[in-house]
Amino acid sequence: MSTALLTDHYELTMLQAALASGAAHRRAVFEVFARRLPAGRRYGMVAGTERILDAIQNFQFGDRELEFLRDVIDRPTHDFLARFRFSGDIYGYREGETYYPGSPILVVEGRFAEAVLLETIVLSILNHDCAIASAAARMVHAAGERPIIEMGTRRTHERSAVAAARAAYLCGFGSTSNLMAGLEYGIPTAGTAAHAFTLLHDSEEAAFQAQLASLGTGTTLLVDTYEVAKAVQTAVDLAGPALGAVRIDSGDLATAAIEVRRLLDDLGARQTRIVVTSDLDEFAIAALAAAPVDGYGVGTCLVTGSGAPTANLVYKLVTREDAAGTLSPVAKKSVGKPSRGGRKWAYRALRDGTATAEIVTRAPAEEVGRPLLAPLIRDGEIIGREPLATARARARASMTELPPIAHSLSPGDPAIPTIFNWSWETGA
């Protein structure tokens, strides 16, 4: 499916005017960055890079798209789009890297006419996926070694749900309830039963018996449709001590978990796990750290970025070719929305394996830290693909690289400073 119309009308307005002025084919560099992190956040997590590569691969204007645009653009613009294929270069932070204010997480180099068309699709993907990943990373850290199931599909757009499941898995969630995410990305899927299943049957006992008969004693039984204590007793009576797990979806989860654990142990079901759900976020998960909980199911708060549904990323022109053919830095001076001109390189400074700073330069300077920008597209050819498992491993490593303060859930400044070191522009 073409992604070419997943864009804003004004991209084509600019393209048409630039083609008419002759500036459309000037070389340009755009960068994606966040001026600031969402309030209280101490780091952001990159996700969506691989989806951007998919989107650019399919960013082509076919007959259907061109027919739709017939009365929107003029003939020269129509002819340009009919031949359009991105032929520039793209560099970016790899998925699973953390980022901070000013981090140039994506750099797009090419003719203005090509690079400007990618703005909306790039921001659409990165603003969503980075927001979800940033929330997911905080939840995973709060959960410690306890697994988390992503189960937010019914709380967002059907395609956003698939992307959210991918971003969550990248950051350490163990599975998803979304079957399409399982098909497209190979993410393990999991699912138990809803209250409707219990209510369908003539009794809770009949519902549990039906589920056990079909799925075996390793299944997870939902025990809070009626009375939790009675449901736990019934579950163990039917399944025996081999019952896989019980799920609690309401009430004071910490208190309920303590009571259910006591009941399970008294009934001999010491290996039966307790899974809790019900509008959990990283704060609720952290509050349950001392409770006898074995796993979490997270939905609404995950797919809405736990209060920060967008990463506030922007796509700005930082370098352009003038009429004489010279590349020069450009920057906005708008109040509250400034930018820093010039194509940039980014590095992570480390001390004993712990991140100490994000260093941004205007020239390569690999001696200052670990390079963060990797080539993704060269001369229009995708060269930067990698398996989701690789990104997942990087996310784990990135979390261990953070200073301890980064994991605090209390509001605070970014965990490490972003240092704009322009001395490297001349190699000084």
**Cα separation, 213 vs 391, whole angstroms:** 39
Task: Using pLDDT thresholds of 50, 70 and 90, give the confidence band for residue 339.
Answer: confident
pLDDT digits over 384-400, tens only? 999 999 999 999 999 99
What residue type is assigned to position 410 of the chain? S
| pTM confidence score | 0.95
**Domain 9-132+308-420 in CATH: superfamily?**
nicotinate phosphoribosyltransferase (3.20.140.10)
Looking at the DSSP assignment, which residues form a beta bridge with residue 358?
Answer: 348, 418
The whole-number average pLDDT for the span 276-299 is 97
Question: How high is the pLDDT of residue 283?
Answer: 97
CB count within 10 Å of CB 46 equals 29
Q: Which residues contact 26 (CB under 8 A, 6 or more apart)?
A: 111, 112, 320, 321, 322
Task: Using pLDDT thresholds of 50, 70 and 90, give the confidence band for residue 214.
Answer: very high
Confirm if 398 and 379 have CB atoms less than 8 A apart: no
**pLDDT, averaged across the chain:** 96
Question: How high is the pLDDT of residue 337?
Answer: 72
Confirm if 129 and 156 have CB atoms less than 8 A apart: no
**Domain 192-293 in CATH: superfamily?**
Aldolase class I (3.20.20.70)
Question: How high is the pLDDT of residue 332?
Answer: 79
Q: Residue 270: helix, strand or coil by DSSP?
A: coil
Per-residue tokens: 397: 């490593």
The whole-number average pLDDT for the span 113-127 is 98
CB count within 10 Å of CB 391 equals 23
pLDDT digits over 351-368, tens only? 999 999 999 999 999 899
Domain residue limits, the chain: 9-132+308-420, 192-293
Per-residue tokens: 177: 């309830």
Question: Which DSSP string do the residues of 219-257 spell out, in sequence order?
Answer: SEEE--SS-HHHHHHHHHHHHGGG--EEEE-SS-HHHHH
- From 315, 395, 402, select the one nearest 132 (Cα to Cα): 395
Helix axes 228-239, 204-215, angle to 10 degrees: 40
In the chain, % of residues over pLDDT 90: 95
pLDDT digits over 140-165, tens only? 999 999 999 999 999 999 999 999 99
The whole-number average pLDDT for the span 7-26 is 97
What residue type is assigned to position 282 of the chain? E
The whole-number average pLDDT for the span 321-329 is 94
Judged by phi (left if over 0) then psi (alpha if -120 to 50, else beta), residue 31 lies in: beta
Do the two domains 9-132+308-420 and 192-293 of this chain adopt the same fold? no
